[in-house]
Amino acid sequence: MTQPLTGRRVLVVEDESLVAMLIETILEDMDCIPVGPAASIDEGLRLLADTQDLDAALLDVNVAGQQIFPVADALKARGVPFVFSTGYGEGGLPDEWRGQPTVQKPFTEAAIRDALMKAMGVAEV
């Protein structure tokens, strides 16, 4: 049986290397293809510019002391769905980003899967 996220290319922007490795493992376990991880806003924007076929993104809200919103804006402009990850939950987001699929750290594989599926509008198989 094919997983609903098989083959999906997911951009990862996360500055904590252990968390980034965990996310990569979670994505690979779901048969996704991790793109990145990017450890800075600039690197995230560069990966986004260099990668044409992204299906989704997983964005740490606070990357190396900067807010991720320039990357979120670029993804939104391209129509690429994304999920925020933050230690503060959705309540820590500015008003204009509330309602965006968000996972609170520490997260589980199920939380990542459910949030990505919600963001991409993919139904459970």
User: What digits encode the pLDDT tens for the residues 85-119?
Assistant: 998 888 889 999 999 999 999 999 999 999 999 99
CA distances from 61 to 68, 115, 123 (A): 5, 15, 26
**pTM recorded for the entire structure:** 0.94
SS3 assignment, position 125: coil
Round to whole Å and give the CA distance between 4 and 24.
17
Would you state the pLDDT for residue 2? 64
Q: Which residues pair with residue 9 across a beta bridge?
A: 33
* Structure tokens given for 106: 């520490």
Amino acid at 4: P
Cβ proximity of 53 and 28 under 8 Å: no
Domain boundaries, the chain: 9-120
CATH superfamily to which 9-120 belongs: Response regulator (3.40.50.2300)
Would you state the pLDDT for residue 45? 97
